[in-house]
Amino acid sequence: MGFTKESIDSAGLFSAVKTKLGADALSLVTKAYEVAYKAHDGQKRLSGEPYIVHPLNVAYILTDLGLDEKVISAGLLHDVVEDTSYTKEDMIRDFGEEIANLVEGVTKISQIKSQSKETVAAENIRKMLVATIRDIRVILIKLADKTHNMRTLKFQSPEKKERIASETLSLYAPMAGRLGIYKIKFELEDLALQVLHPEEYQEIKKQVSSKKSERDGYIEKIKIILKQRLSEINIQAQIEGRAKHFYSIYRKMKLKEKTFNEIFDLRAVRIIADEIRDCYGVLGIVHTLWTPIPGRFKDYIATPKTNLYQSLHTTVIGPDGKPMEVQIRTQEMNKTAEYGIAAHWAYKEGKSNGTSDGNLTPKWIERLKSWEDSDLDPKEFLEDLASDLHEDEVFVFTPKGDIIELPKGSTILDYAFRIHTDVGLQAKGAKISGRMVPLRTELKSGDQIEIIADKKNKPSPIWLRIVKTSSARQKLRQYFRKIQDEAAIEIASSPDPVAPQISSKELELLRKNRSEKKKDKNKKVTVVVAGIKDIMVRLSGCCAPLPGDDIIGFITRGRGVSVHKSTCETAKKQTDLMRMVPVRWDGVNEPIPVRIEVKASDRQGIYLEMVECISKTETNILEAGATSSQNGTITAKFLIEVEHLDQLQEILDSLKALNNIIYAERVRTN
């Protein structure tokens, strides 16, 4: 029986049940259908169709997953108790406790939404899973319910569509993955992608179909080569091309910052052998035909994944010189890869608690069981679950309880940019559970984050080092490019009385000098002089300006433009104002050395705390030292490498926040 995504009618369901489970299963399913039909009579879906279409399709998805007539019946009845006058007692009377409990479990999950908004997401997941511990089949029904709702999402309002799609992506799809039901996981992900990123979805779809004939031709070639070699050693195998689902292509592009072409060039082949030992035979042939890429071989047959997945994985350099991913597995393993736990879910008479036989139970279900009685704090629970569901991702909450998913290692600033570009650009800090934290704080799953934004706030170039996601980095770069362009236009268009003072001959000289002095240590720092970038500049030693400082420039004789802080006393004494030129820092600079001095009343451990303050901002310490004095104070001096004034400010602020600090300040570099 094929799996169809088209809407099915009762006849379609009955014939599928008969094919899968035999005629005996039909009486229960028919009875459930009749009760559901009557109970929902007169109700309509948003699509305008009679409501029964929904439970029918949910039941059909469950049939396809290979579940028994009780689960299929519960699927037909899953919305009856919640949405109609038919009660749980009626259901116990008509169908018995087991089916009534399954339906109650599904109903419970949908009722959680009315909780207070702050904790709804964490609480939601917790209750949902606690419900499944009693019977994992509840979650299979919920997944089928989600799948059909996602297929018919287009009838919902735009806001609701997005909310449901992102919940599906962050919760239900990973859950299907952990249960090994990749078929549902992939469908849910693609449906969610279509709603959340419609343009990317269409683009990927277009690209996939445009490369189809090329892909097919390649697979034909592989088939011929492999069949020949395999028949020599008497191994029967099916060879097929493997189309990646759209969401995995999308994810690869986002996470690994790859282009369409890099991803579509990737060849993927699946080989289905009859026996386990044949899988290893096939592997041997593949590795003799094409060179394996070291480190890419994985034996999930000997050590299956916790969700039961088994297969051999390898990547070789294919006949066209490009990498080819190969999966080798048996027919049965292939079925497990699609249907996961459902493929192994044997329900026997009198075995109502849904426990499968011993070693087939994934480890995480075991873990769920241990959670059942414990009174875990929802946050802790979520953290635990999240690390289980998403190995490379963290998921955190908005103040409203919406889930935001980010790559592991992301910071508060990444989160702010994910919420909205303006929130990112205006971010000053954040509160996690009411506690203020700096922008560079790494996110942990379960954190609920409130961004403190300030319209007057300006992004600092050091933010480029704080953000970990490419999208936040792109938004920042865009911002800096924009303000640089604006500054350039301003300088070019303002009738500046000073700039013309640089004669073209002088300019030429300054440029020449610069190229001759390539080893000048100042070359790392770019200062834009009167709108021109490649001018030789010298950061003056008297005030040692740092990127971010307000600066002024003076044209010197033969030594380029000397740059001072605008507050510099030496600069103020400069009388020849005609030599002054407008200067500004250019974007992000290489770090330059800055000296700071910290004085404190001496106490145990204070020096180490200072060092820690500096190094936690990822700042290089070039020199450090401290002297204690008779009067019980300690003076520490550090030479540190700083990229921008904001970075220095952050260090000085956090030093000042230590106990017993008398002052922390920047001192002259030489």
Beta partners for 325?
A: 268, 315
Q: Which is nearer to Mn ion, 135 or 145 (CB)?
A: 145
Quote the Cα angle for 363-302-367, to 5°: 5
Would you mind telling me the total number of residues written for the chain in this entry? 670
Query: Closest CB to Mn ion belongs to which residue?
Result: 145
- Cα 45–chain centre separation: 34
Task: Please say if 82 is a catalytic residue.
Answer: yes
Taking a C-beta distance cutoff of 8 angstroms, is the pair 362, 120 a contact? no
Tokens of 391: 């190995």
Residues in contact with 73: Cβ distance below 8 Å, sequence separation at least 6, in sequence order = 28, 29, 31, 32, 59, 95, 99
Within 76-95, which residues bind Mn ion (CB under 5 A)?
Answer: 79
Taking a C-beta distance cutoff of 8 angstroms, is the pair 461, 538 a contact? no
Tell me which residue of 403, 371, 388 sits closest to 167, measured CA to CA.
Answer: 403
646 binds Mn ion (CB under 5 A): no
Cα separation, 494 vs 295, in Å, equals 60
CB of 391 vs Mn ion, minimal distance in Å:
31
Contact range with Mn ion by CB under 5 A, out of 64-72, 73-81, 348-356, 451-459: 73-81
| Beta-carbon count within 10 A of 570 CB | 13
Q: Which is nearer to Mn ion, 80 or 535 (CB)?
A: 80
Residue 19, SS3? helix
| Beta-carbon count within 10 A of 17 CB | 26
Q: Which is nearer to Mn ion, 145 or 447 (CB)?
A: 145
DSSP strands (E only) in 249-289: 267-273
Residue 230, SS3? helix
- Cα 385–chain centre separation: 16
Q: Which is nearer to Mn ion, 145 or 189 (CB)?
A: 145
Cα separation, 65 vs 59, in Å, equals 10
145 binds Mn ion (CB under 5 A): yes
68 binds Mn ion (CB under 5 A): no
Residues in contact with 94: Cβ distance below 8 Å, sequence separation at least 6, in sequence order = 31, 35
Start-end of H helices in 541-603: 569-573
Taking a C-beta distance cutoff of 8 angstroms, is the pair 255, 300 a contact? no
CB of 135 vs Mn ion, minimal distance in Å:
17
CB of 51 vs Mn ion, minimal distance in Å:
9
Taking a C-beta distance cutoff of 8 angstroms, is the pair 451, 415 a contact? yes
Cα separation, 438 vs 427, in Å, equals 10
Choose the catalytic residue: 6, 83, 104, 377. 83
Tell me which residue of 548, 386, 376 sits closest to 461, measured CA to CA.
Answer: 548
Q: Which is nearer to Mn ion, 103 or 449 (CB)?
A: 103
Q: Which is nearer to Mn ion, 79 or 135 (CB)?
A: 79
CB of 54 vs Mn ion, minimal distance in Å:
6
Taking a C-beta distance cutoff of 8 angstroms, is the pair 565, 549 a contact? yes
Q: Which is nearer to Mn ion, 79 or 338 (CB)?
A: 79
Task: Please say if 383 is a catalytic residue.
Answer: no
φ/ψ of residue 397, rounded to 5: -115, 145
Residue 50, SS3? strand
Residue 356, SS3? coil
Residue 153, SS3? helix
Q: Which is nearer to Mn ion, 148 or 390 (CB)?
A: 148
Choose the catalytic residue: 6, 68, 79, 82. 82
Site pattern 318..337 for Mn ion (x: CB under 5 A): --------------------
Task: Count interface residues toward Mn ion (CB under 5 A).
Answer: 2
Q: Which is nearer to Mn ion, 154 or 277 (CB)?
A: 154
Tokens of 99: 């089916």
Q: Catalytic amino acids?
A: 82-83
Binding residues for Mn ion, rule: CB under 5 A, are 79, 145
